[in-house]
Amino acid sequence: MRVLVTGGAGFIGGHIVDALLEAGHTPLVVDNFSAGDTDNLPSHVEVFDVDIRNREELTRVFVDCQPDAVSHHAAQLSVSRSVREPAFDAEVNILGWLNVLEAAAKQDVNRILFASSGGTYYGNIHQPATEDLPPRPESPYGFTKLTGEHYLEFFTRQHPGLTGVSLRYSNVYGPRQSSVGEAGVIAIFASRLLQAESVVINGDGSALRDFVYVTDVARANLLALEGKLDHRYRAYNIGTGQGTTISQLADTLSTFATEERANRQLTEPIPLPQYGPPRAGDIHANLIDSSRIRQELGWTPEVDVKTGLQQTTRWFAERVFA
């Protein structure tokens, strides 16, 4: 299967490319490298340096590549930026997405996966949310994900032969995640703690998150591409259903960072966390229930949070101390 991965040079996209290659498929990558990096990709993968907002260039890629399927991960990812710049957020996450959908439909693509977000889709919720829970996004980013899902469902109804899957990720983490800018909290914390620098917790540390390891997310994409669907369109939650507070996260990462430093004879103690105000658009608690994809496609997370955090810290340590 020829699979076009938009945002394929990014954190999640690069792991999806790896999973596709291992399964014997042919991945093709579209990325504008605003956040992606060629280091995330094997050198032999065909890459197109194209912004999804450029309709003409994107359409040319689809015509030239003739993909069988699409895994859409090119996006504006920052919740706080979506609050500051909602028009830019919509330009990328809605208009850019429509360019992908239209180009795919014209080339008779068979299946499209859309990277959605359980955290921003369901809003604040302390019990694992199922896919049937009414959406309650609390940021422009969340609204663009909700809108993106509706557009995908619409296109599957308008184009015979096209099936669509929205994957509502919880908080994805793991190796290759950026630790600069408005990056994932685990990447930021691991990088700083390994250098014996204090981390800043936004809020009082009680915020609850459902962390899912990136290779589990890549495997979910593979199953959604290869699996038999009983619906033209389907949404699936991708998470563990297990909550970790940000304070617990900081403590666990501090322990693993201390171990990595001790292995290198570094004895300077890691300082305690500092606390700052909550970020705009952040939700306090979010957990998601992944029973549907387990029952229908056989996906379950294989990497528990403790193991994943240890592996991630080790990956960052190899680069911090290189």
Q: How does pLDDT run across 138-177, given as a tens digit for each residue?
A: 889 999 999 999 999 999 999 999 999 999 999 999 999 9
User: Which one-letter DSSP state was computed for residue 176?
Assistant: T
State the Cα–Cα distance between residues 108 and 105, nearest whole angstrom. Answer: 5
Q: In Å, how far are 37, 62, 156, 216 from 160, measured between CA atoms?
A: 36, 18, 7, 31
Spatial separation of the C-alpha atoms in residues 314 and 322, rounded to whole Å: 12
Where in the chain is CATH 3.40.50.720?
Answer: 2-172+213-239+290-297
Q: What is the CATH number of domain 185-208+243-287+303-321?
A: 3.90.25.10
Q: How confident is the model at residue 181 (pLDDT cuts 50, 70, 90)?
A: low
Count of other CB atoms within 10 angstroms of residue 18: 19
Q: Which residues of 203-226 are buried (b: 16+ CB within 10 A; e: fewer)?
A: eeeebbbbbbbbbbbbbbbbbbbe
pLDDT of residue 56: 98
Is 141 an annotated catalytic residue? yes
What pLDDT shows up at residue 125?
79
User: Strand 111-117 to strand 69-72: parallel, antiparallel, or no bridges (unpaired)?
Assistant: parallel
What mean pLDDT comes out for the span 100-122?
93
At residue 183 the predicted structure's pLDDT band, cuts being 50, 70 and 90, is: low
Task: Give the residue among 300, 308, 170, 309 at the shortest CA–CA distance from 239.
Answer: 170
CATH code, residues 2-172+213-239+290-297: 3.40.50.720
Start and end residues for every CATH 3.90.25.10 domain found in the chain? 185-208+243-287+303-321
Task: Determine what percent of the chain is predicted with pLDDT higher than 90.
Answer: 89
Q: Name the active-site residue from 122, 141, 173, 236.
A: 141
